[in-house]
A and B are shown apart, each in its own frame.
Chain A
């Protein structure tokens, strides 16, 4: 249920508006615009807390729904998301840069095909494969699974971002005596930042959602709460896990949106 919040993002990657975001005239929103989302999320969280507090909990529910258990699950979830996203970026952005250099032109279609096929394999299958075939379990295995899945959107957006840079800008840069490295660093990468960030945002949201599945290979996270609720048939526990995941996903998406707004180069 909670993973569903992430799914529209994943498919949105392949629609034009993410690959080539419209040049917004004023990329910065008003203060009210910036405050709306955290206020709404805070109200939802508070309301839900009050609702759960008012319920009579049995011993199973009480064991699952206490501050320590939920805090640990939430913290593990954040760690899974953060570590897998950082590793994803560290792999996908440099790879995207290399693949857009002239010498790699021939290699590109093959690699993209392989990666696109890889993306068709569900993460849960990858996690199970890692666990069953390699007896690879826990946090690290979960990170491997998440990275494999999130690499594609960041890589594709990095490549598209670099390639959409106006050819005449690059020719002017070369023509004035910038080195190939200088053109990459001072023109291509800054101008690709908005689209690369859109890919990062996608990866983050995919990772928040998918990280609920890593409970099955003993990597913790909010999936623990949901699965505990399912296996003990306690609807309230399931809902708490799902709502926390959803709120976390929306919050991270909001923070990534802030980053997009503030890291976008001026003048674009």
Chain B
């Protein structure tokens, strides 16, 4: 059985942690105990869990900022447990919550750190810096020669990401990178980062304590329960629809179904049609359409097919000969196909006719979403998850690719525990 791959995944194991343990000096218990995890190329794997579950320690053992007490780290097929840590770290991008920009260096010099450490020549470094700043939406000519002090928090974190991408590493480690940023900027940075990731397709280990951020960012999520236990390692969809244990359900918190709606898009479901007329239609024709439907109003579209007005029978009575686009009500609750079902639901709850109008990128009417379709979507997600869980119960363990003992695979049967 090959592991299911995420959107960017190739199914190749990029980072394998084998029986990794860490006990800090002077501590009686392990911070991380006997943890095994496979991380696939091109995926964002989020380590999430309550404080003290060892998620940050686990991440920091990958670039050996924290040296493991025992166990092995295999990066791209190569055992790096005993490799030169400085050389190892130059291969791995590293972003931390406080960003840690060098205050006495310009933005350009900051971003050039790793390329310079690797001894790139000046022209190549400078071209790379401009490329990276463009990548994170920071115009090089404006920002290259500024100092970190002159930037806002969100801009600093962008520079932090650019700096981590410096020498185009295959792997990036991100420790709560958006944790210290206000919610609005955080949301924007998350979206920008996801867009960037679609281009660069790095293997990313992302640590957060925020399950909503984990669900949004992760191709796969490892929920850590304690120093020795991965409660569940799976895709966000599976974690929401089929939590492996009570701990996982509690950790997701209330509203799992609503959160699940964040992961599905309007384009994933079949739209319903609503009675429509063109803006130039006769009033009699509108009445005819209304009479044949069970709706209270028709949707008036302009000549390009874009929604213009809701028009009901009462509006026609009061029209006094005014054209259709000057009577009735303006259409609200308009969403595009890439919107999440959660957005669509949010819009339709307050909308006049309890539907969200779906338009394409140019604003042309596509159909509508109503509450029944959303409940149907939730129901089918549930049954899919149950079916998948059943299928795995039926599969025999022997058909799997050989794994190190206790390794958490992306589609585990049960919570994986250390021994």
Contacts and interface: CB of A to CB of B under 8 A. Distances in A.
Interface string A158-181: 000000001011111111111100
B114 interface: yes
Contact of B89 (A175, A191, A265, A266): A175
Interface in B88-103: 88-90, 94, 96-103
A191 B104 CA distance: 7
Contacts of A182: 117
B149 A174 contact: no
B96 A175 contact: yes
B106 A267 contact: yes
A174 B85 CA distance: 9
Interface in B159-196: 160, 163-164, 166, 173
B126 interface: no
B88 A267 contact: no
Given A178-B86, A179-B86, A268-B103, A168 B96 contact: yes
B65 A174 contact: yes
Contacts of A187: 102
Given A176-B89, A177-B86, A168 B99 contact: yes
Contacts of B238: none
A182 B90 CA distance: 14
Interface string B65-98: 1000000000000000000011111100010111
A190 interface: yes
B143 interface: no
A16 B399 CA distance: 68
B102 A176 contact: no
A165 to B, nearest CB: 9
Contacts of A191: 103-104
A187 B104 CA distance: 8
A171 B89 CA distance: 12
A176 B114 contact: yes
A169 B94 CA distance: 12
Contacts of B99: 168, 172
B353 interface: no
Given A166-B98, A176-B94, A177-B114, A190 B104 contact: yes
Contacts of B85: 177
B312 to A, nearest CB: 60
B392 to A, nearest CB: 38
Interface string A241-268: 0000000000000000000000001111
A27 B65 CA distance: 36
B274 interface: no
Contacts of A170: 100
Contact of B101 (A172, A179, A190): A172
A176 B117 contact: yes
B65 A175 contact: yes
Contact of A266 (B104, B113, B164): B104
B63 interface: yes
Nearest to B86: A177
Contact of A173 (B102, B147, B160): B102
B148 interface: yes
Interface in B206-245: none
B105 A168 contact: no
A179 to B, nearest CB: 5
Nearest to A165: B103
A172 B85 CA distance: 14
A39 B152 CA distance: 42
Nearest to B98: A168
A228 B164 CA distance: 68
Contacts of A267: 103-106, 147-149
Interface in B108-155: 113-114, 117, 147-149
Contact of B100 (A171, A177, A179, A190): A171
B100 A168 contact: yes
A67 B406 CA distance: 89
A190 B86 CA distance: 21
A166 to B, nearest CB: 7
Contacts of A175: 63, 65, 89, 94, 96, 173
Contacts of B87: 177
A86 to B, nearest CB: 25
Interface in A76-109: none
A179 B63 CA distance: 14
B117 A268 contact: no
Contact of B117 (A166, A168, A177, A266): A177
Nearest to B110: A172
A171 B65 CA distance: 8
Interface in A176-221: 176-179, 182, 187, 190-191
Nearest to B85: A177
A171 B149 CA distance: 19
Contact of A172 (B96, B117, B147): B96
Interface core residue of B88, B101, B106 (most chain A CB under 10 Å): B101
Interface core residue of B88, B102, B164 (most chain A CB under 10 Å): B102
A6 B331 CA distance: 78
Given A171-B96, A172-B94, A177 B88 contact: yes
Nearest to A267: B147
B100 A169 contact: yes
Contacts of B63: 175
A169 B166 CA distance: 17
B123 to A, nearest CB: 21
A170 B96 CA distance: 11
A171 B173 CA distance: 13
B397 to A, nearest CB: 38
A66 B153 CA distance: 64
Nearest to B97: A168
A38 B173 CA distance: 54
Contacts of A169: 100-103
16 contacts: A166-B98, A168-B100, A169-B100, A169-B102, A171-B65, A171-B96, A172-B100, A175-B173, A176-B163, A176-B166, A177-B87, A178-B86, A191-B104, A266-B147, A267-B106, A268-B103
- By Cβ-Cβ distance, the 8 closest A-B pairs, closest first, are A172-B100, A267-B147, A168-B98, A175-B94, A177-B90, A265-B104, A177-B89, A168-B100
Given A177-B89, A177-B90, 5 more contacts: A166-B103, A170-B100, A172-B101, A175-B173, A265-B104
